Structure 1
Amino acid sequence: MTNDLLGRHRAVLPDWLALYYEEPLELTHGEGRHVWDAQGNRYLDFFGGILTTMTAHALPEVTKAVSEQAGRIIHSSTLYLNRPMVELAERIAQLSGIPDARVFFTTSGTEANDTALLLATAYRRSNTILAMRNSYHGRSFSAVGITGNSGWSPTSLSPLQTLYVHGGVRTRGPFASLSDKAYIAACVEDLKDLLGHTRAPAALIAEPVQGVGGFTAPPDGLYAAFREVLHERGILWIADEVQTGWGRTGEHFWGWQAHGQSGPPDIMTFAKGIGNGMSIGGVVARSAIMNCLDSNSISTFGGTQITMAAGLANLNYLLEHDLQGNARRVGGLLIERLRAVAAQVPAVREVRGRGLMIGIEITKPGTDEADPQTAAAVLEAARQGGLLIGKGGGHNTSSLRVAPPLSLNVAEAEEGAAILENALRSIQ
């Protein structure tokens, strides 16, 4: 049956629509931190539909909220007052840390970043954008145009002039050997030099932890140091929290808070986990920025009632059960366990991350050369052992991505680590 479905998939869907595994999986249902395929095999899920199943599969509170809302009204567009949308916007505005915040809902992180770019360029009257090397911001025309990862950027055409800044990958590049303090100073000087050669940009957009790039991150404080330089010139800071938001990094609710010494970003985007699988994205910005558009605009599907009901229930569960704290505690145990394993596997260059957002970089032993074939072999071996993980990487790297639902317990973390240990040892 799966082979038949695979043939139908290939006959009607684009060739570039990637599938994991030599024998792709059809997932039929899930519960908690586990999913099942069409053959009845059970897997521990350490990727959550690309960091989207944030709390748990089939979380009763979310499914109940969706069912009850579906029984009332599913959709009306933004042309009518929408109580669930207002209620979720109020919660997110308060949690964002952005003063006098306004919230606009979209259907995805890509669309959220598109909106942020529209706001920044309109507000600043500039189409120049600063982005980070190794970054990823979505698959739309404008988002691809600012993505600093060639593996995810199929065209050089763009409505924007994009200039790429150094600093998002701590352990590679010309500043890798420096101390954290010296690294930040060097990146700031690089930014200043770049700004001296261009007209004033609209904004810098940056992921606090680069997701598709392999869960890489700069030292804490880099974006605060950048913000001081940007603020002097009136340039906005957009924090792309599509993967890092809602407490996933454990130490902070938002990724930008690791760089919060100079205050919150001017604009913040979010998506993925807030809907626990429902399509929710959005933008938070200071009112002066959000209200700068002087033409009509609505959203047909952004903020629709059924997704807002899911988001409210999911956010309430996250906060009431302190899943940020759980990500910090269980994620800390998991990353230390994986580092202990990796120390005995020459193909692992680095285990990095924070909270339940962990990257394992695979290289040819004794070198910094990426080894995507070996990374793919680990992915397959983990699946055979009953564990689903992700992969990514830029900067000519190959990385495994580990990002379970934030309700992961210690026993499940140990089980997953044991399967990953066997998968990593199998490649030696």
Structure 2
Amino acid sequence: MPGTHPDDRPAERGEEARAGVQPPLPGAAGGPTGSLELHARHRAVLPEWLALYYREPIDLSHGEGRHVWDSTGKRYLDFFGGILTTLTAHALPEVTKAVQEQAGRILHTSTLYLNRPMVELAERVAALSRIPDARVFFTTSGTEANDTALLLATAYRRSNQILALRNSYHGRSFSAVGITGNRAWSPTSLSPLQTLYVHGGVRHRGPFAGLDDAVFTTACVDDLRDMLGQTRADVAALIAEPVQGVGGFTSPPDGLLAAYREVLAEQGILWISDEVQTGWGRTGDHFWGWQAHDGNGPPDIVTFAKGIGNGMSVGGVIARAEIMNCLDANSISTFGGSPVTMAAANANLAHLLEHDLQSNARRVGGLLLQRLHAVTAGLGIVREVRGRGLMLGIEFHEPASPAAPHPADLVLEAARERGLLIGKGGGYGAGGVLRIAPPLSLTVAEAEEGAEILEQALRQAQSQLDGGESGA
């Protein structure tokens, strides 16, 4: 099936497709005028804080494999997957078929009734989690999954104290914002939780910058012990992303979270691994991000979302039975675990495992990382290239003048002009990191194509900031 496997190539349709352009779909308001009108309508009825990429936002109309098309017919190589959500491929036939067949039977029931697709997916996820006697609760988003994890941890431990990493992001709800350690994504200091922030997510800032892995880990653990010694002993949990997503794909040294867990276990404090962006094999080396830390086994609670549904609204929480069952009040979910989204996730997970896309992420991601190191060599605007699997970041130096454009913004625009979609992130409100996270079926040829476009965009940005020509 074209566009579904690392060794396949998307089927091209005619000369326009070979040129990277497709005619707009029937009924689509294609062309610049249509996009401008839609942008004006967007601004008139949606919140100002609902961010859009690009000076001239694009209206994506359809996709196939690792490509998407806008309403003008222009084709893009997708290196962001709708924020790490199109995990396997756009328009994956197995997922499309599963959604269509389930929609033809019944769209919605709620959790008040038995739901075969939900039970089947829960069985598979529980087994993959490695958590003993695991229970799974499905939600509609990563934010809701993290909310549920916080509810479970605080109820189980009878405490509203939470440990979180600096530079973290865990969602947009009131409680998730309260544990987010990235001020660019934290619109209020009010919270139902008391949050204490520990070190570990960022290597090149703060008092431990420049330390090697072993010394950095020791310093972070010592700091954690000191913090716990000065607060109440009934802290509920530590929540941590194994790789910080919105924070710019930064990560602690392998093993740090396991070292934290040893300290936490002394007081019965739970470890929540936020796998919304790192789960399902994206990091290549591991199926779950927490496995890079391993230690004495899986976390107490794992949260997930995004990629498992390949675009459908699926999130969830995995926890051992005694934690999941600790709530002493009724609860349901109207939309979590819906038959259609569960059917999609089952088909997507089966495809992911059958085609071993985790190995493809490791192999092609490794090649892409090498290429990015090569194309950024000698560019003064680039501070660091990092990541693992198909979760890669390019961090930039801050502009010398506050009035100067940010390199990340320049590269984002230049890449789009050349037919490549990437993301942005970073801490301290700077948005100074490009995030690269294609579908896990990315081919070697597509990785090379994307790297070539990025090289051109990076050189154009460097030239602009140096005061040279704007073209590459």
Task: Calculate the TM-score normalised by the size of structure 2.
Answer: 0.89
- Listed one character per residue, the Cα deviations across residues 89-124 of structure 1 (whole Å, up to 9, x for unaligned) are 000000001000000000000000000000000000
- Are positions 1:93 and 2:126 aligned together? yes
Kindly state the Cα deviation for residue 349 of structure 1 after the two structures are TM-superposed. 0.2
Deviation at 1:353, TM superposition (A): 0.4
1:375 aligns with 2:408: yes
Task: Give 1:395 shift.
Answer: 3.6
* Runs (5+) with no aligned partner, structure 2: 1-33, 463-472
Q: 1:79 and 2:88 equivalent?
A: no
Which aligned runs of 4 or more in structure 1 are off by greater than 6 angstroms?
369-372
Is the Cα–Cα contact under 8 Å of residues 390 and 437 in structure 2 kept in the other structure? yes
Measure how far apart 1:262 and its partner are: 1.9
SS in 2 for 1:427: helix
Aligned to 1:51: 84
Please give the per-residue CA displacement for 1:2-46, whole angstroms capped at 9, x wherever unaligned: 111111000000000000000000000000000000111000000
CA distance in structure 2 between the aligned counterparts of 1:426 and 1:70, rounded to whole angstroms: 47
Given that 1:29 and 1:35 are in contact with CA atoms closer than 8 Å, whether structure 2 keeps it comes out as yes
Aligned equivalents of 2:175, 2:100: Cα separation in 1? 35
% identical equivalent positions: 78
Q: Does 1:144 align with 2:177?
A: yes
Match of 1:39 in 2: 72
Partner of 1:116: 149
Match of 1:5 in 2: 38
**Could you report, residue by residue, the CA deviation over 1:179-236 in whole angstroms, capped at 9, with x for unpaired residues?**
1000000000010011011112100000000000000001100000000000111000
Number of aligned pairs? 427
Task: Report the CA distance shift for 1:233/1:370 in structure 2 as closer, same or farther (over 3 A).
Answer: farther
Indicate conservation of the 8 Å contact 1:45/1:389, yes or no: yes
Amino acid at match of 2:330: N
User: Following the alignment from structure 1 to structure 2, what is the Cα–Cα distance between the partners of residues 408 and 371?
Assistant: 35
Q: 1:52 Cα shift?
A: 0.2
How big is each residue's C-alpha offset from its partner over 1:225-272, in whole Å with a ceiling of 9 and x where there is no partner?
000000111000000000000000000000000000221000000000
8 Å contact kept, 2:272–2:299: yes
Q: Which residue of 2 aligns with 1:259?
A: 293
Alignment correspondent of 1:420: 454
Unaligned runs of 5+ in 1: none
Q: 1:371 to 1:140 in 2, by over 3 A?
A: farther
TM-score by length of 1: 0.98
2:346 to 312, 332, 338: 312
Distance (Å, rounded) in 2 between the aligned partners of 1:300 and 1:355: 35
* DSSP-derived class of the 2:435 partner: strand
CA gap 1:104/1:303 in 2 versus in 1, 3 angstroms? same
Report the equivalent of 2:248: 214
> Residue 24 of structure 1 aligns with which residue?
57
Paired residues for 1:299-338 under 5 Å: 299-338=333-372
1:305-330 deviation per Cα after TM superposition (whole angstroms, max 9, x unaligned): 00000000000000000000000000
Aligned twin of 1:344: 378
> Which structure has the greater CA radius of gyration?
2
**d(CA) in 2 for partners of 1:141, 1:403:** 27
Residue aligning to 1:238: 272
Letter of the 1:424 counterpart = L
1:184 is paired with a residue whose SS is: helix
Whether the 8 Å CA contact 2:184–2:429 is kept in 1: the answer is no
C-alpha distance in 1 between matches for 2:135 and 2:377: 47
Q: Secondary structure at the match of 1:426?
A: helix
Any idea what the Cα deviations from partners look like across 1:372-409, whole Å, max 9, x if unmatched?
A: 72210100000011000000000455100000000000
**What's the counterpart of residue 170 of structure 1?**
203
Q: Residue 41 of structure 1 aligns to which amino acid in structure 2? A: K
Give, in whole Å, the separation in 2 of the partners of 1:42 and 1:202: 48
C-alpha distance in structure 2 between counterparts of 1:342 and 1:171, whole Å: 19
The separation in 2 between residues aligned to 1:370 and 1:279, in whole angstroms, is: 40
Report how far residue 174 of structure 1 moved: 1.4
Q: Are the counterparts in 1 of residues 184 and 428 from structure 2 also a CA contact under 8 Å?
A: no
Specify the alignment match of 1:296 in structure 2: 330
Amino acid at match of 1:25: I
Structure 2: how far apart are the matches of 1:371 and 1:73? 55
Match of 2:12 in 1: none
SS at match of 2:406: helix
Q: Which amino acid aligns with 1:211?
A: G
What's the secondary structure of 2:293's corresponding residue?
helix
- Matched residue type, 1:61: E
Output the amino acid matched with 2:461.
Answer: I
